[in-house]
């Protein structure tokens, strides 16, 4: 079975801190990867897509290590509004476009 | 506005009843998906449909049924055969064709089902 593994946390950090989440995956054929953000009792929303070695969007940086089969998400200068659960998502492969979701890493940013 | 809508937001069901959850999208997406999320768990795939009038079972299809009579709509019925239906149900859609954007699934706001 193809799996996606994440540290469930919670990660409790002060405002302004830098925090990093790791995710490992078992499907070596995956070409694209995603980080979704899910707020409490809400739907997941796409945060970043990763197609090559990495991607950066403001305070958020995603990096991909294909050899070791892990993806990381780095958040710099954490804000209170960054508090959420971050889901690592990997395509299953094939034409159906099905995704495998990690259980998520919970982040809590404190004042 | 383009997007995915789900209704109702909250649903209460008595044991032994069937209930149908609505999912509608106006994104012109071909593919649609139903997931279930339980506390502390990842999303699990119930059913998916790549095109109108066709759908496939996901990992946990037992006790559920779907239909895809229109491109915009993919309703999910939770039947009395589903032993533990209390959960958060999420519908998603994905564009198909060429390009990287077709990898991404976009979610509706979800329906929270509680069995009384």
Inter-chain CB proximity B110 and A42 less than 8 Å = yes
| Residue B39 to residues A104, A108, B42, B80, B112, Cα–Cα distance (Å) | 11, 17, 8, 22, 12
Distance CA A42, CA B109 (A): 6
Q: Is the pLDDT of residue B100 over 60?
A: no
Residues in chain A: 111
- Tell which residue, B6, B116, B40, B106, has the closest CA to residue A40: B40
Inter-chain CB proximity A97 and B42 less than 8 Å = no
Q: Is the pLDDT of residue B63 over 60?
A: yes
Average pLDDT over residues A77-90: 96
Residues of chain B positioned with their CB less than 8 A from the CB of A44? 43, 90, 107
pLDDT value for B11: 94
pLDDT value for A32: 85
A53 CB-near residues (< 8 Å, 6+ apart): A63, A64
Q: Tens digits of per-residue pLDDT, A13-39?
A: 999 999 999 999 987 777 889 999 999
How many Cβ atoms from other residues are within 10 Å of residue B70's Cβ? 11
pLDDT value for B75: 98
Position with higher pLDDT, B38 vs B97: B38
pLDDT value for A1: 52
Mean pLDDT, chain A, whole residue set: 91
Inter-chain CB proximity A46 and B104 less than 8 Å = yes
User: A57: distance to nearest CA of chain B, Å?
Assistant: 17
Q: Is the pLDDT of residue A100 over 70?
A: yes
pLDDT value for B53: 95
The beta strand positions in chain B, using DSSP E, are 4-7, 10-13, 19-25, 31-37, 44-51, 54-57, 64-66, 76-78, 87-94, 106-107, 111-115
- State the count of interchain CB pairs (< 8 A) between A and B: 53
Residues of chain B positioned with their CB less than 8 A from the CB of A34? 103-104
Instruction: Please report which helix (H) or strand (E) contains residue A65, including its range.
Output: strand A60-65
Query: Which residue of chain A is at minimal alpha-carbon distance from B34?
Result: A98
Q: Is the pLDDT of residue B55 over 90?
A: yes
Q: Tens digits of per-residue pLDDT, A54-70?
A: 889 999 999 999 889 99
Average pLDDT over residues B24-53: 94
Average pLDDT over residues A71-88: 97
């Amino acid at each position: 079975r193809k799996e996606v593994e994440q540290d469930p946390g919670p990660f409790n950090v002060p405002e302004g801190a830098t925090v990093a989440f790791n995710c490992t995956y078992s499907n070596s054929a995956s070409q694209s990867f995603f980080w979704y953000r899910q707020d409490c009792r809400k739907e997941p929303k796409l945060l970043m897509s990763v197609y090559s070695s990495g991607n950066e969007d403001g305070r958020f940086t995603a990096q991909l290590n294909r050899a070791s089969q892990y993806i990381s998400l780095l958040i710099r200068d954490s804000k209170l509004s960054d508090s959420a659960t971050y889901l690592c998502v990997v395509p299953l492969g094939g034409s159906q476009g099905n995704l495998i979701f990690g259980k998520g890493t919970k982040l809590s940013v404190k004042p | 506005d383009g997007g995915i809508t789900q209704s109702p937001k909250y649903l209460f069901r008595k044991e032994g009843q069937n209930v149908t959850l609505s999912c509608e999208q106006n994104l012109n997406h071909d593919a649609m998906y139903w997931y279930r999320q339980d506390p502390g768990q990842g999303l699990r795939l119930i059913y998916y449909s790549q095109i109108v009038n066709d759908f496939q079972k996901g990992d946990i299809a037992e006790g559920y049924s779907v239909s895809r009579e229109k491109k915009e709509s993919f309703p999910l019925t939770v039947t009395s055969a589903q032993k533990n239906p209390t959960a958060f149900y999420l519908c998603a859609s994905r564009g198909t064709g060429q390009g990287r954007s077709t990898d991404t699934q976009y979610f509706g706001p979800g329906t929270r089902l509680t069995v009384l």
